[in-house]
Structure 1
C-alpha cells in the first residue's frame, strides 16, 4: 500500500539511500539536494510502501506566485522521484493517484496542483497523465534541461 507522508528526521537516511539513474539525474533532484533545499514555502514529503521509503517529492506553496501559468491557490509539485529499484511496478502512478486526497487533507486552501515535466521525459509525463493530471497544451521554457510540458490537476472538481 502506498503512503505519502511529511518528511521526518527518521526518513532522511532512507532518502540518502535512493540512487538515481543517469537519465533521472538530469530531470530530478538528487536525494542530497532534496534534503538540502530549505526554500521557504517548499515542503518535503516521502513516498512509502509498507513503511519503507521508496521516493520523495516537494510541494511548493508559492508556486503560483512564481509562475504566471499557475492560478492563485495552486500548489506546485516538484522533484518527484521513485527509487529506480521500485520503478516499473506502478508505484509512481499509485503515488500520483494518492496525491489529491493527501493534498486536500494537508493543504485545504489549495484548489489545483501544477507541475512541469521535461518534454524529453515521456515516462514521467505518462505517469502524471495516468494519475489524473491534464496537459495544459502549453510549454514552460525556463527549465534547466529544455522545454517542459505544463500539467495540472483541479482538486475542486474531484469531489475529494
Structure 2
C-alpha cells in the first residue's frame, strides 16, 4: 500500500540511497538537492511502501503567485521522483492517485493542484494523466529543458 508522508529526519538516509538515472535528473532533481532545498513555501514529502521510502516530491504553496497560468488556491507539485528500482510497478500512478486525499487532509485551503511536465517526458505525463490530472492544452516555456505541458487536478470533488 502506498503511503505519503511529510519529510522527517528519519527518511533522509533512505532518500540519499535513491540513485536516479541521468534522464531522471534532467527532468527532476537529485536526492541531495531535494534535501538541501530550504525554499520558503516548499514542503517536502516522501512516498513509502511498507515503511520503505521509494520516492519523494515537493508541494509548493506559492506556485500560484509565481505562475500566471495557475489560479489562486492552487498548490504546485514539483520534483516527483520514484526510485528506479521501483519503477514499472505502478507505484508512481498509485502515489499520484493518493495525492488528492493527502492534499485535502493536509492542505485544506487549496482546491487545485498544478504541475508542469517536460514535453520529452512522455512516461511521466502518462502517469499523471492516468492518476487523474488533466492536460490544460497549454505549454509552459520557462523550464530548464524545454517546453512543458501544464497539467492540473481539481481537488474540490467530494470523491477524495
For structure 1, the residue ranges without an aligned partner over 5 or more in a row are none
Alignment correspondent of 1:103: 103
For structure 2, the residue ranges without an aligned partner over 5 or more in a row are none
Deviation at 1:158, TM superposition (A): 4.6
Query: In structure 1, what is the Cα distance between the partners aligned to 2:159 and 2:83?
Result: 31
Structure 2 residue matching 1:34: 3-state secondary structure:
helix
1:80-116 per-residue CA deviation (whole Å, 9 max, x = no partner) reads 0000000000000000000000000000000000000
* More displaced 10-residue stretch of structure 1: 120-129 or 149-158: 149-158
TM-score if structure 2 supplies the norm length?
A: 0.99
TM-score if structure 1 supplies the norm length?
A: 0.99
Alignment correspondent of 1:60: 60
| Residues 1-160 of structure 1: pairs in structure 2 closer than 5 A | 1-160=1-160
Query: In structure 1, what is the Cα distance between the partners aligned to 2:42 and 2:25?
Result: 20
Aligned length: 160
The alignment's C-alpha RMSD in Å is 0.6
